[in-house]
């Protein structure tokens, strides 16, 4: 092995997303080729056996970069020395369940995990929360980790970002790679705002290449409600595409975003674009030197302003709700 392995802790490792994620991490797609990785799998006691089965399969792949696998049901053990924390384990939304119902069900999981990260993770730990409601779960984890820089806690909107790229590419019949500067603003929920007023296709503003009715009545709701549509179709929430987005998020965080483009991630607001400080909200971001930076200086038109404000208001409500529950 050329260097000390990077320790990646994955919670909910025996779940659907875990199964789609772990093999890609072990193959080098998360950190980059040439970077050895040690996996730490956290599960609840009832699912440890299943995690052991996944670990056997990981062994059977003989991945050259995989330096070892640890399995635990104790967050304090699982996060020991972690450089990357992928907080996936949560109760997935099932048919007919509202996201608000998830706040209380999941809030209790993320406090202890945040504290375990605070007390045991490596100094450079970076955390991506995938488990829903992801933005607010990230806020809860962050609140329990006062010794970790707040900016190290992020939530995933990269799946929404990728969905937006794919929908627009399909509409304009262009390769996904021709689209730059896509942005998801706000919450990973149906209020999210996928923004075509800053996105560019072939160097021209995307919103000017589609009609307003499609943008407002098809594109935005299709992207924002895609998670629910997948649950309806599959009878389970998205898994492989969510794992793919988690890989994209952490890969870009560590290795940087390409010149001339940006991506979307939910990061702690510094007050940019009128988003109250501290809310973990999705923004246009670039990654430089291993840190996310919110892209500054974009003009926000009135339509976009209204959409961003609505999603941010939902985040503020969620913060208020978990604060009332004593989870912050
Ligand atoms: P799943 O039910 O298949 O797996 C979840 C796993 O988490 C289970 O194995 C469970 O035992 C484990 N778990 C539960 N509590 C735990 C705890 N306290 N510690 C460790 N592990 C624990 O669910 P899934 O399909 O893998 O989805 C996981 C989460 O990701 C859900 O909340 C889902 O809504 C969310 N999700 C988010 C996005 C996104 O874009 N942000 C996309 C898809 C799914
Ligand atoms: C998704 O966007 O696919 C998921 O967040 C949906 C969900 O509620 O689990």
CB atoms within 10 A of CB 204: 10
Query: Percent of the chain beyond pLDDT 70?
Result: 97
The closest residue, in CA terms, to atom 29 on ligand 1 is 131
Question: From ligand 2's centre to the CA of 264, what distance in Å?
Answer: 16
Report the DSSP beta bridge partners of residue 192.
none
Pocket mutation for ligand 2, best pick of 166, 227, 229, 244 (most atoms within 8 Å of C-beta): 227
The CB density around residue 166, as the number of other CB atoms within 10 Å, is 16
- The average pLDDT across 23-51 equals 97
Q: Taking residues 12-30, what's their average pLDDT?
A: 98
Q: Which CATH number is correct for 158-318, 3.20.20.70, 3.30.300.280, 3.30.300.180, 3.90.110.10?
A: 3.90.110.10
Which of 12, 105, 132 is the best mutation target for the ligand 2 pocket, counting ligand atoms within 8 Å of the beta carbon and taking the most? 132
Annotated binding site for NAD(+): 12-18, 106, 113, 130-132
Supply the pLDDT for residue 251: 98
Residue 1 has pLDDT above 50, yes or no: no
Angle at 132 between CA 126 and CA 192, to 5 degrees: 95
pLDDT for residue 3: 84
Q: Are 22 and 59 spatial neighbours (Cβ–Cβ below 8 Å)?
A: no
Residues comprising the binding site for substrate?
93, 99, 132, 163
Indicate the average pLDDT of the chain.
Answer: 95
Q: What is the mean pLDDT of residues 45-63?
A: 98
Centre of ligand 2 to C-alpha 15, Å, is 14
**In the chain, what are the domain boundaries?**
6-155, 158-318
Report how far residue 297's alpha carbon sits from residue 66's, in angstroms, rounded to the nearest whole number.
42
Model pLDDT, residue 143: 97
Percent of the chain that is helix, strand, coil (3-state, to 5): 45, 20, 35
132-152 mean pLDDT: 97
**CA 65 to ligand 2 centroid distance, Å:** 30
Q: Which fold has domain 6-155?
A: Rossmann fold (3.40.50)
Q: How confident is the model at residue 65 (pLDDT cuts 50, 70, 90)?
A: very high
**Is 131's C-beta closer than 6 angstroms to any atom of ligand 2?**
no
At residue 33, the pLDDT reads 85
- Does residue 175 surpass a pLDDT of 70? yes
pLDDT number for residue 100: 65
Which of 219, 212, 192, 195 has its CA nearest to residue 314? 192
pLDDT, position 99:
59
Mean pLDDT for the stretch of residues 269-289: 98
Confidence of residue 93 (pLDDT cuts 50, 70, 90): low
Tell me the C-alpha to C-alpha distance, in Å, between residue 308 and each of 86, 171, 186, 248, 300.
Answer: 27, 24, 6, 24, 9
Residue scoring higher pLDDT (118 or 237): 118
237 CB near ligand 2 (under 6 Å): yes
Q: Could you tell me the pLDDT band of residue 2, with boundaries at 50, 70 and 90?
A: low
Confidence check: pLDDT of 160 > 70 = yes
Residue 208 has pLDDT above 90, yes or no: yes
ipTM exceeds 0.95: yes
Mean pLDDT of 240-254: 98
What whole-number distance in Å separates Cα of residue 48 and Cα of residue 276? 40
Tell which atom from ligand 2 comes closest to the C-alpha of 92: 9
pLDDT level of residue 42 (50, 70, 90 thresholds): very high
User: Are the C-beta atoms of residues 31 and 251 closer than 8 Å to each other?
Assistant: yes
pLDDT band at residue 92 using 50, 70 and 90 as cut-offs: low
For residues 122 and 149, the answer to whether their CB atoms sit within 8 Å is: no
pLDDT band (50, 70, 90) for residue 12: very high
Asked if the model's pLDDT at residue 324 lies above 80, the reply is: yes
The pLDDT value given to residue 69? 98
Q: Which residues are annotated as a binding site?
A: 12-18, 93, 99, 106, 113, 130-132, 163
pLDDT at 310 over 90: yes
Question: Is residue 251 among the annotated active site residues?
Answer: no
Question: pLDDT at residue 223 above 50?
Answer: yes
Catalytic residue, candidates 144, 188, 198, 249: 188
User: Measuring from atom 8 of ligand 2, which residue has the nearest CA?
Assistant: 93
Query: Residue 10 in 3-state DSSP?
Result: strand
- C-alpha distances in angstroms, 176 versus 75, 158, 167, 197, 297? 39, 14, 9, 17, 25
- Ligand 1 lining (C-beta closer than 6 Å): 11-12, 14-18, 42-44, 47, 88-90, 92-93, 109, 130-132, 134, 156, 159, 188, 237-239, 242
Ligand nearest to the CA of 10: 1
Alpha-carbon Rg for the chain, nearest whole angstrom, is 19
Kindly report, residue by residue over 98-121, the tens digit of the pLDDT.
656 778 788 889 999 999 999 999
Among 182, 193, 197, 92, smallest CA distance to 134 is for 92
Contact between 264 and 162 (Cβ < 8 Å):
no
* Fold matches, 6-155 and 158-318: no
């Amino acid at each position: 092995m050329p260097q000390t392995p990077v320790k990646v802790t994955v919670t909910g490792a025996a779940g659907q997303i875990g199964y789609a994620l772990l093999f890609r991490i072990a193959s080098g797609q998360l950190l980059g080729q040439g970077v050895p990785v040690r996996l730490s799998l956290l599960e609840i006691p009832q699912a440890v056996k299943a995690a052991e089965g996944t670990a056997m399969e990981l062994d059977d792949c003989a991945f050259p970069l995989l330096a070892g696998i640890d399995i635990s049901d104790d967050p304090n053990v699982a996060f020991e020395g972690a450089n990357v924390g992928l907080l996936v384990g949560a109760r997935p939304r099932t048919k007919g369940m509202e996201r608000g119902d998830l706040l209380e069900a999941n809030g209790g999981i993320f406090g202890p995990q945040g504290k375990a990260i605070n007390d045991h993770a490596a100094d450079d730990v970076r955390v991506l929360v995938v488990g829903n409601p992801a933005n607010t779960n990230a806020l809860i984890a962050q609140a329990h980790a006062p010794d970790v820089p707040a900016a190290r806690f992020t939530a995933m909107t990269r799946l929404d970002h990728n969905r937006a790229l794919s929908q627009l590419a399909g509409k304009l019949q262009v390769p996904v790679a021709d689209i730059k500067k896509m942005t998801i603003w706000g919450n990973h929920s149906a209020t999210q705002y996928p923004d075509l007023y800053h996105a560019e296709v072939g160097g021209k503003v995307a919103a000017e290449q589609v009609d307003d009715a499609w943008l407002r009545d098809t594109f935005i709701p299709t992207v924002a409600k895609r998670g629910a549509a997948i649950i309806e179709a599959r009878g389970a929430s998205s898994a492989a595409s969510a794992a793919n987005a988690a890989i994209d998020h952490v890969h870009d965080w560590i290795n940087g975003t390409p010149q001339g483009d940006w991506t979307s991630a939910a990061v702690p607001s510094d007050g940019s674009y009128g988003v109250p400080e501290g809310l973990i909200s999705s923004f246009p971001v670039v990654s430089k030197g291993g840190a996310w930076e919110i892209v500054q200086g974009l003009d926000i038109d009135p339509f976009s302003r209204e959409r961003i404000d609505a999603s941010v208001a939902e985040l503020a409500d969620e913060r208020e709700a978990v604060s009332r529950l004593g989870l912050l």
